[in-house]
Structure 1
């Protein structure tokens, strides 16, 4: 005979171990600037249901569910399913099973479309950047510039029987990739992303430069792909550091002094990989989820905003 299930609240109170998921959600709950973000979204959120129907879900609940989607790489149907399955996620979203409505996949989809339609994910990224600057996290003295490839499905086994026309192929080393690129400008002090741009995969990294600088840099750091005599000449001056890795002349070898400089630059540049690691490994964003650049671009702004908060959460909590 199966055991009588315990009351959920009592069962949770009796639990002795705090899981990794609960710890992560508690930390992120504490560092996300909820008041600022809700004030940002509230003017665009519907105040009443369509044609006098059910009232919309609370805005904060939908924002929290949307963040859960991005942290755990959940599709709209899986986000709904997971809310039924996970007590920790329901608690984070402020949903009490049996008392509150759980948003269905269509409601979750509509909220994401609302954010995309009004450009609100870029606004979320900007608001988080302002929040971190107010906390003294970013110093805006130096910028690390880099790009990462986001793979897209190359299969034609879909409804359109074609690959995504807005994605393209690019080569890195001896390997070919199909997808898009995320270009970032990273604060050299804190390691958080302050600028983000996206492109199709075939766009060379060096073509996206000015969009990634905030204009107050005393130093810039990048790999060999960004070598430019014109940019270097424009940046030189008193107190300026041009930290772009030296490139050997065609058919020649790099001078030993330049090799030493490159080792120093590489040590400084290492911090630029941290946001990519968080988005791809911690949040599981290994492939594009949607067709077209616009929807994936919108998601990337959210992912890097949340990634910034994750990177500096210990400083914010302290």
Structure 2
């Protein structure tokens, strides 16, 4: 809720107030038909054993793709390592980032309106998902252990 104050010098000051118990740093997001309020975890997981290497937490409405550089800055990966990611991390900026860091991209391909995925891209996504399930297992464990819900 915004409150406006008119000062004697003619300027207006705006102050934000929040309902008691509401976290002003969190935000809303929609996944499917459900709305969620809170935060989103971005996790970098080692693909052999599923060990968590880096974590960053953002408000729920932030886009996944923008947080890959933050995760990569927290770890040092060997040149030539393959980085697996879901469709939220697809895009030219992240592909360029991986190339600059001499990492191989295994980020799933994403179709767009009037540009569906090619059969080759669908096969690629299926191959990537066979390794990426270890990351999803980490999220499933977090939800189970901490009764976390949502995204």
Q: Secondary structure at the match of 1:190?
A: coil
- Matching residue of 1:278: 141
- Matching residue of 2:77: 216
| Structure with more strand by fraction | 2
- Say which of 185, 188, 191 aligns to 2:44: 185
- Matching residue of 1:161: 20
Q: Secondary structure at the match of 2:146?
A: coil
| Structure with more helix by fraction | 1
- Matching residue of 2:117: 254
Instruction: Using the TM superposition, give the Cα deviation of residue 272 of structure 1 relative to its aligned residue in structure 2, in angstroms.
Output: 0.1
* In 2, Cα distance between equivalents of 1:230 and 1:251: 22
Residues 52-109 of structure 1, C-alpha deviations (whole Å, 9 max, x = no match):
xxxxxxxxxxxxxxxxxxxxxxxxxxxxxxxxxxxxxxxxxxxxxxxxxxxxxxxxxx
Runs (5+) with no aligned partner, structure 2: 1-17
- Matching residue of 1:35: none
Q: Secondary structure at the match of 1:274?
A: helix
Q: Secondary structure at the match of 1:216?
A: coil
Does structure 2 retain, via aligned residues, the 8 Å contact 1:181–1:200? yes
- Matching residue of 1:105: none
Instruction: Using the TM superposition, give the Cα deviation of residue 249 of structure 1 relative to its aligned residue in structure 2, in angstroms.
Output: 4.1
- Matching residue of 1:292: none
Runs (5+) with no aligned partner, structure 1: 1-155, 288-318
Does structure 2 retain, via aligned residues, the 8 Å contact 1:168–1:178? yes
- Matching residue of 2:130: 267
Moved over 6 A (4+): none
TM-score (norm 1): 0.37
- Matching residue of 1:114: none
The number of residues matched between the two structures is 127
Question: Over alpha carbons, which structure has the higher Rg?
Answer: 1
Q: Secondary structure at the match of 1:191?
A: coil
* In 1, Cα distance between equivalents of 2:90 and 2:48: 23
